[in-house]
Structure 1
Amino acid sequence: MSDGSTSEALVANLRTLLAELAPGDRVPSSRELINRYRVGPATVSRAIATLAAEGAVVTRPGSGTFVAARPTGPGSGAPDTSWQAVALAGRDVDAAAEPSAPLPGGGISMAGGYLHASLQPVRALGAALARAARRPDAWHRAPVEGLAPLRAIFARQAGGAVSAEDVLVTGGGQGALSMLFRAIVAPGGPVLMESPTYPGALAAARAAGLRPLPVPMDEAGIRPDLLADAFAMTGARLLYCQPTFHNPTGAVLAPERREQVVEVARAAGAFLVEDDFARFLGHGQAVPRPLVADDRDGTVIHLTSLTKPASPSLRIGAVIARGPVTRRLRAMRYVDDFFTARPLQEAAIELVSGPAWDRHLRALSASLRERAAALADALARQVPDWRRTRHPAGGLHLWIHLPPGQHDAAVADAARAHGVAVDRGSRFFPAEPPPTCLRLNFAAAADLAELAEGARRLSVAVGEAMS
C-alpha cells in the first residue's frame, strides 16, 4: 500500500478514536500509535498533522497531543445541507468510478489502475523535476497547446504522419477524455463504447449528459460488424475504444480489424477516440502501431498519457487530432484550465528525454510480465474455478470470470473484509446486465509475496462468501 493511502487509513482510524475521547484527553503517543496500527513514524506524523490542521487535535511540544475542544453554541451542530438535493437534481455524477476507500494497515491492493510506488521511477522523477525547476522560465505561462518539445515527443511516439502541430498537451488522460466527450457530442447524444470498458470513460460520458451504448467485443477486440450496426441504429458520431491492452480485458484489437474499425467509423461520419493509455505497459512483445498513425483524414483522435507508466501525480497527457475539431479542443482549454502547468511539462520533457526513462520502461516491462504470471499461477492454485479469458500481453490487470453462484459484489466485500481490495466487474459495463467478473491489478501490490498472500486471502474470502 502506498504511503498516502496508509496515512489516510490512519487518519480515519484516529478520527474514530477521537470520537471516543473527551476534549482535553491525551491522544496515545506516537510510539503507541505505531505499535497499535503497525505503521511507520512518518505516517503517524502526517496523520497527526492532518488532524491538527482540521482542528481536531492540539499538539503541545514536550507534553503530547490532545483532543481539541469541540465547537459549542448556535450553529455548532451538523449543518443542514438537505436543500442541495433539489439544487443538484438532474446532474448526477457516476459514483461507481470513484476509487474505493483505502484499506487499513496490512491490506493488499489489487484494485485501481496505477503502479505501486516500488514500480515508479521515483528517483528519475525527482531528478527531472529538480532540473525543470532550475530553468529560468520554469514558471512562465505555457502555450495553450503545450510546450513545443513535449508536443514533438508525443508526435514521435504516435508515428506515421503525425506532427507536433497535431498535438495538444493535457493534464493527464481523464480530464482530456471529459473534454473530448463534451467537445464532440451534444448533451443527450449517444457515444459508442466497447463492452466492457473503462469506468472512467463511462463516468465522463454520463457527467457530460451523454448516453454510453455498448458494442460487444470478443477475443480479437471490438466487433466491426456489430459496430456498423450500432452506428446505423443510433446515429452516434463518436466511438470510444482501447485497441491496445484493453482495460479491463487486456485484449488487443486484431490486425485485420484495426483498419476495419476505422473504416466503419469513417463511413458513419463519426470520430474514433483511441485511448492508448497502455502503450508503455507492454510485457515485452511488440506493441501495434497506434490507429492514428495510419489515419488519413482526422477520423481518429488519439489520447495518450505518461501517468500510467510513471506516477499518478505526473498528470501529463496528449490529444492528437486533425481538422476543425482541433480548434474546438483548443477553445475548450480556455474554458477548462487555460493550459497544463509548465513545471510538470518541463519535468516530463526531462524525464522522457534521458536514458533513465528507457531503463525504467525495460525494467517495468519485465516486472509486469513477472507479476502477471505470478498472480495467474497463484489464482490457479487458490481459486481454480476462476476463469481468465486470456493471459494479457500488456497492461496492469487480469480479467476474471467467476463461476455460477459467485457474485462480484459479494466476493469483493468478502475480500475487503480479509484486507484485499479488488474491482467489481459490474462497474465496467455501459448498459446491459454484466456477467459476473472481477478485475485484479497485479501492479498495485508491493511485491510477489503480497500477490501470493492476496490470492490466498481471496480463496478464504470466496469460501466465506459462498457459505
Structure 2
Amino acid sequence: MSSRSTSGDLVTSLRALLAELAPGDRLPTSRELTQRYRVGPGTVSRAIAALAAEGAVVSRPGSGTYVAHRPARATDRLPDTSWQAVALAGRAFDLTAVSAAEYGTTPAAAAESDMAGAEAVHPLPEGAIAMAGGYPHPALQPVKALGAALARAARRPDAWHRAPTSGLAPLRAVFARLAGGEVSADDVLISAGGQSALSMLFRAIAAPGGPVLVESPAYPGALAAARAAGLRPVPVPMDGEGLRPDLLADAFAMTGARLLYCQPTFHNPTGTVLAPGRRAQIVDVARAAGAFLVEDDCGRHLGHSRQVPPPLVAEDRDGTVIHLTSLTKPASPSLRIGAVVARGPVMRRLRGLRFVDELFVARPLQEAAVELVGTSAWERHLRELSAALRERCAVLADALAREVPEWRLTAFPSGGLHLWVELPRGVHDAVTADTARAYGVAVSAGGRYFPAEPSGAYLRLGFAAAAGAAELVEGARRLGAAAREGS
C-alpha cells in the first residue's frame, strides 16, 4: 500500500476519533497514534497536516494537537440562489462545448488579458528604489518554507497527475475555512492567482458592453480585466470609511448594472477598510439590485495586525457575494494560487469556463500550497510579515512627513502594501512620477487608478518592495528633492 493511501486511511480513522472528542480536547501523541494504528511516524505527520489544513485540528508546537472549534451552522432557512437566473440573463454559456472539453475532444483555449499598466513594474536602473511594486521584497517572502513545501509536494506519487477541475479537496477546504460562515469546500474553485480569477469572473457574469460598478479609485488590474472582457467600468466614490452605500444604490439604479467589484479590506490603493456599519449595507444594496458583488480579498493576509474583519461572504447565504482571495501576495509572486467562493448557478458557470480557459491549475503548485499553509512556519511567516509591514509603513510615513510635508497622506492604513498620497493643487501626478524616476525612485502615478476623471492628483507609494527601512528613508529623501525641483 502506498504512503499516500495509508495516510488517507489514517485521516479517515482520525476523523472518527475527532467525532468522539470535544473542541479543545488533546489528541493522543504521535507515538501513541503510531502504536494504536500501526503506522509510521511519517504517516501520522501527513495525516495531522491534512486535518490541520481542513481546520479540524490545531497543532501547538511543544504542547500537542488539539480538536479545533466547530462553528455552529445557521438553520433558520435554506439558502435561496434562484435570483441568479435573472442576474445571469443575457450572458449565455455553451455547456455543450464545456462537456466536449471535459472529455478531451476539444482543445482548451488559454488566454491572458493584457495587463499593461496594472501592476507591472518596468525594470529599474541600478541603485533605484522600488516604491511602485505590488509584491513584498524577497526578504519578506517565506523562501525556505516555500522550498520545503515544494520539495515535499514533489515527493508525492501523484504530484504530476491531473488535478480536479475545482482544485484539490484539501486546498479547497483551507480556503473554505478562511472564508468562514457556512462556506464549504464545494463552494470553492481554485484559480491560478487572483488576476486570472478576475478575468474569468468578469467574462462569466456580465455581458460585453455592459456596466460594472467599481470603487473610485480602484485596483488597475481589475479595470484592465473588466475592459478586456468588454465591460464598461462605472465609478462609485469612496470616503474614509470605504464605498458609499447611498451612491452605490444610485449607481445601480442609473446604470442597471448587475455586477459590483470592490475591495472591502485593505483596499488598493488607499488601504481603506470598509466600515463595520457599511459592510452589510453594501451587500444589501447589491442584493436589492439583483446583482453580484465580487469581493476581492487578496489583501487579507497583509494586515498590519492580526485583527482583520471577516469577509463579506461569511454572512451571505444567497450567493450575492462572490469571494476572491489568493496566497500570492503574502507568499510569492510565483505561487499563483487563488480561490473563488461562489454558490448557485454562477459556480457551475465558472467551472464550465475553467474547461475553456485552462482545464485545471497545475497540481504541483496546489500540492505545495497545501503543504505550506498546513505548517507552523506559515503562521510564523504571517506574524513576521504583519510586523514588518507595520514597521515599514510607519517608517515611510514619518520620512515623507519630514521630506515632503506638503504631500498629504490620505489615511494611515491598517493593512496593505501602500500609502495613498494627495499632491498639492496644481501638481501633476504623472509629471511627479517621471521626475521621481529621474531621481532614482519608482512610484505609481494615481491617475490610472481612476475608472473615469480623477478627483485630484495622487501617488501610490509602496513600502513593501524596497530592501528595508533605510532604503525607504532614502527614497523619501529623493522624493523630497524631486518635489522641490517640480515646485
Q: TM-score range by the shorter chain?
A: 0.7 to 0.9
Of the three residues 278, 302, 313, the one matched with 2:334 is 313
Contact 1:371/1:443 (<8 A) preserved? yes
Q: CA RMSD in A?
A: 1.0
Contact 1:426/1:434 (<8 A) preserved? no
CA distance in 2, matches of 1:113, 1:213: 24
Tell me the TM-score normalized by structure 1.
0.79
CA distance in 2, matches of 1:236, 1:242: 18
CA distance in 1, matches of 2:352, 2:486: 51
Q: Which residue of the partner structure matches residue 313 of structure 2?
A: 292
CA distance in 2, matches of 1:250, 1:285: 15
- C-alpha distance after superposition, 1:42-61 (max 9, x if no partner): xxxxxxxxxxxxxxxxxxxx
Counterpart residue identity of residue 282, structure 1: G
Q: Which residue of the partner structure matches residue 360 of structure 2?
A: 339
Deviation at 1:98, TM superposition (A): 5.7
Q: Which residue of the partner structure matches residue 204 of structure 2?
A: 183
Of the three residues 256, 260, 280, the one matched with 2:301 is 280
Contact 2:115/2:221 (<8 A) preserved? no
Q: Which residue of the partner structure matches residue 237 of structure 2?
A: 216
What is the correspondence of 1:58-457 to structure 2 with a 5 Å cutoff? 95-97=116-118, 99-457=120-478
Worse overlay, 98-107 or 418-427: 98-107
CA distance in 2, matches of 1:456, 1:161: 50
CA distance in 1, matches of 2:169, 2:204: 24
The runs of 5 or more residues in structure 2 that have no matched partner are: 1-112
- C-alpha distance after superposition, 1:262-287 (max 9, x if no partner): 00000000000000011111111510
Worse overlay, 204-213 or 98-107: 98-107
Q: Which residue of the partner structure matches residue 26 of structure 1?
A: none
CA distance in 2, matches of 1:94, 1:153: 29
Deviation at 1:434, TM superposition (A): 3.6
Q: Which residue of the partner structure matches residue 56 of structure 1?
A: none
Q: Secondary structure at the match of 2:293?
A: strand
Contact 2:119/2:133 (<8 A) preserved? no
Counterpart residue identity of residue 294, structure 1: E
Deviation at 1:464, TM superposition (A): 1.6
CA distance in 2, matches of 1:355, 1:100: 33
Contact 1:94/1:206 (<8 A) preserved? no
Counterpart residue identity of residue 299, structure 1: T
Contact 2:264/2:296 (<8 A) preserved? yes
Would you say how many aligned residue pairs link Structure 1 and Structure 2? 375
Change (3 A) 1:311 1:380: same
Percent of aligned pairs sharing the same letter: 75
Counterpart residue identity of residue 218, structure 2: T
- C-alpha distance after superposition, 1:311-368 (max 9, x if no partner): 0000000000000000000000001100000000000000000000000000000000
- C-alpha distance after superposition, 1:160-203 (max 9, x if no partner): 00000000000000010000000000110000000000000000
Contact 2:407/2:423 (<8 A) preserved? yes
CA distance in 2, matches of 1:354, 1:133: 17
Counterpart residue identity of residue 324, structure 1: P
Q: Secondary structure at the match of 2:459?
A: strand
- C-alpha distance after superposition, 1:202-256 (max 9, x if no partner): 0000011100000011000000010000000000000000000111011110111
Contact 1:196/1:430 (<8 A) preserved? yes
Change (3 A) 1:93 1:310: closer
- C-alpha distance after superposition, 1:131-184 (max 9, x if no partner): 100100000000000000000000000110000000000000001000000000
CA distance in 2, matches of 1:201, 1:353: 30
CA distance in 2, matches of 1:428, 1:131: 40
Contact 1:96/1:199 (<8 A) preserved? yes
Deviation at 1:406, TM superposition (A): 1.5
**Which consecutive segments of 4 or more residues in structure 1 shift more than 6 A?**
none
Contact 2:129/2:440 (<8 A) preserved? yes
